[in-house]
Amino acid sequence: MTEASFTPRVFSGIQPSGGLTLGNYLGAMKRFVDMQDAGAHETVYCMVDLHAITVWQDPADLQKNTRELAAGFIASGIDPEKSILFNQSRVPEHAQLAWVFNCVARMGWMGRMTQWKDKAGKNAEQASLGLFAYPALMAADILIYHATHVPVGEDQKQHLELTRDIAAKFNHDFGVDFFPITEPVIEGAATRVMSLRDGTKKMSKSDPSDLSRINMTDDADAIAKKIRKAKTDPEPLPSELKGLDDRPDARNLVNIYAALAEVSPQAVLDDHAGQQFGTFKPILAELAVEKLAPIGSEMSRLMADQPEIDRILARGAERAREITEPILAKTYDIVGMVR
Ligand code: TYM
């Protein structure tokens, strides 16, 4: 089987671990919508609840966060008729293929993952086995669909390289050309949205300071306030991108503007060079409120109809299994399971 024979298919996932940020939206969700609307691929999007429990999740919060994330997908423009939208635990082939990949991947590969090192820290002995094996489940998420393209933010790049290594090792070990060597899609101005309080740190839902991030559920006042309070420097905006090289906070706001306005960072500088942040921030705040506040209010509206969200996820899982069941069956055949 050559790569050309794989159906062009996009897969990506987001953890329902609470709080969708502007980083998730610009780095992932908005790009998921663009790929859905471009129509060049089948698109499959997943709330990865099995990944979320690699660290402790309160069960009631996990349920609430999964439904809230589903509302976030739909409010951002994912159409559950066009895309397949579901939560991971409802499609058991993810976990089943992950077990096979646990036996293909090597301990050393997992140990080199920077996310593992960051999350487990010095306390690796106390981290869950699931956290260590996390990237094998992620590879299974992607490869159980024979996905050819995976849109993600920059922080997932190493996991996607590992996914390619697992596919290649499986194909080599069993002498097949069964799993595609998936292409990461890490493009645009916002593949790494930084903290509003520290332009050298990634914007993250786990940052203790709420001022460091914009949450997709923030209202217009909160969005405007956080941008007004964002850390900047006293210099005006330069006319060329290289003028932002040593100015991470300034560069972050320019990138956020570019991604929200769907223009290049250079085009933002073309329009705003010479402006101080006292002038630029209110313009950015207005743009952010215009683009984000309607998504937040649509999320609240959707959350009020929980049975509808549950119906959408159940239907999405049924459609997902039409793809995953035959791929798992073929994988078991290749591996030599008697069935
Ligand atoms: P997660 O849930 O941490 O984040 C979801 C997506 O949001 C992107 N992202 C960002 N992009 C730009 N700037 C930021 N500050 C920022 N913060 C988060 C992430 O890169 C990601 O694309 N392991 C994954 C979930 C996953 C997955 C998969 C992704 C599980 N299986 C299969 C793709 C394919 C994760 O923890 O993402």
Q: What is the pLDDT along the chain (339 residues), one digit of tens a residue?
A: 444 489 999 999 999 999 899 999 999 999 999 999 999 999 999 999 999 999 999 999 999 999 999 999 999 999 999 999 999 999 999 999 999 999 999 999 999 999 999 999 888 999 999 999 999 999 999 999 999 999 999 999 999 999 999 999 999 999 999 999 999 999 999 999 999 999 999 999 999 999 999 999 999 999 999 999 999 999 999 999 999 999 999 999 999 999 999 999 999 999 999 999 999 999 999 999 999 999 999 999 999 999 999 999 999 999 999 999 999 999 999 999 998
CA of 275 to the centre of ligand 1 (A): 33
Q: How far, in Å, CA of 63 to CA of 265, rounded?
A: 38
Cβ–ligand 1 contact at 207 (below 6 Å): no
Burial class (CB in 10 A: 0-12, 13-18, 19+), 187: exposed
CB 85 within 8 A of CB 78: yes
Distance CA 234, CA 242 (A): 17
Residue partners of 213: CB distance under 8 A and separation at least 6: 19, 21, 22, 23, 195, 196, 203, 204, 205, 207, 226
Question: Which three-class secondary structure state does DSSP give residue 100?
Answer: helix
CA of 337 to the centre of ligand 1 (A): 33
10 lines ligand 1 (CB under 6 A): no
Q: How far is the CA of 121 from the centre of ligand 1 (A)?
A: 20
Does 150 contact ligand 1 (Cβ within 6 A)?
A: yes
Q: Do domains 9-191+305-335 and 210-300 have the same CATH topology?
A: no
Kindly give, in sequence order, each residue whose CB lies less than 8 Å from that of residue 2, ignoring residues fewer than 6 positions away: 177
Residue 27 Cα to ligand 1 midpoint, Å, equals 8
195 lines ligand 1 (CB under 6 A): no
Instruction: Specify whether the CB–CB gap between 240 and 318 falls below 8 A.
Output: no
48 lines ligand 1 (CB under 6 A): yes
Ligand 1: which of 15, 24, 43, 206 to mutate, most ligand atoms within 8 Å of CB? 24
Q: What confidence score (pLDDT) does residue 1 get? A: 45
Q: What is the pLDDT of residue 228?
A: 96
Question: Dihedral (C-alpha) 202, 203, 209, 213: value to the nearest 10 degrees?
Answer: 160
Distances from the Cα of 205 to the Cαs of 20, 22, 195, 200, 210, in angstroms?
Answer: 7, 10, 10, 16, 8
Rounded to 5 degrees, what are φ and ψ at 2? -95, 165
**Cα–Cα dist 329/326, whole Å:** 5
Show which residues are catalytic: 119, 202, 205
The ligand 1 atom nearest the CA atom of 142: 32
In the block, residue with structure tokens 């916002």: 190
Chain CA centroid to CA 61, Å: 20
Type of residue found at 240: E
Indicate if ligand 1 lies below 6 Å from the C-beta of 13. yes
Alpha helices, DSSP H only, in 146-218? 157-174
**Does CATH place domain 210-300 in 3.40.50.2300?**
no
| Residue whose CA is at the smallest distance from ligand 1 atom 24 | 14
CA of 236 to the centre of ligand 1 (A): 33
* Domain 9-191+305-335 CATH superfamily: HUPs (3.40.50.620)
> What pTM was computed for the model?
0.96
Q: What is the pLDDT of residue 5?
A: 83
* Euclidean distance between CA atoms 299 and 293, whole angstroms: 10
What are the residue boundaries of the structural domains of the chain, listed by start?
9-191+305-335, 210-300
Atom of ligand 1 nearest to the CA of 48: 30
Structure tokens at 318: 């049924």
Nearest CA, atom 33, ligand 1: 12
Ligand 1 in contact with 147 (CB < 6 A)?
A: no
In whole angstroms, what is the distance from residue 218 CA to residue 303 CA? 15
Q: Name the residue with tokens 């290649």.
A: 168
Ligand 1 in contact with 88 (CB < 6 A)?
Answer: no
Buried b (16+ CB within 10 A) or exposed e, 109-120: bbeebeebeebb
